[in-house]
Amino acid sequence: NAGVMQNPRHLVRRRGQEARLRCSPMKGHSHVYWYRQLPEEGLKFMVYLQKENIIDESGMPKERFSAEFPKEGPSILRIQQVVRGDSAAYFCASSPDRPNYGYTFGSGTRLTVV
């Protein structure tokens, strides 16, 4: 029973490039959440999605960041024109309809912008 799968584990991008982070939820989970963790800081909520719908994107920066969770395939967090300040660990979590036991997190994608 595979857990939440995130890829790539590590991603290096030059300033101005695009970064695409992928997340496949656990089997049976239809809710996906993206969090960002800057070095030496706590988890910051970014966006909550269900299949084909964004439920809450209150934590997403207004520009350059977008997320989707298509009917088929993984959820994608897309960062356009990356800047050094985007360097962080990006964690994806998933849950079933009734998350009685909280979220299950993936191992994260560590983005480094050079």
Partner 1 sequence: RKEVEQDPGPFNVPEGATVAFNCTYSNSASQSFFWYRQDCRKEPKLLMSVYSSGNEDGRFTAQLNRASQYISLLIRDSKLSDSATYLCVVNVAGNQFYFGTGTSLTVIP
Q: Which residues bind partner 1 (CB under 8 A)?
A: 31, 33, 35, 41-43, 45, 48, 55-56, 89, 91, 95, 97, 99-108, 110
Length of the chain: 114
Q: What is the DSSP string of 49-71?
A: EETTEEEE-TTS-SSSEEEE--S
Quick count: other Cβ atoms within 10 Å of Cβ 85? Answer: 9
Beta carbon nearer to partner 1, 15 or 43:
43
How far CA 52 is from CA of 17, 28, 71, 103, in Å, comes to: 26, 16, 6, 20
CB of residue 8 to partner 1, shortest distance in Å: 15
Tokens of 17: 């490039």
Tell me how far, at minimum, the Cβ of 45 lies from partner 1, in Å: 7
Report the amino acid identity of residue 113.
V
- Closer residue to partner 1, CB minimum distance, 2 or 14: 2
Least distance from C-beta 10 to partner 1, angstroms? 11
Comparison of 24 and 108: residue with beta carbon closer to partner 1: 108
Closer Cβ to partner 1, 86 or 95, answer by number:
95
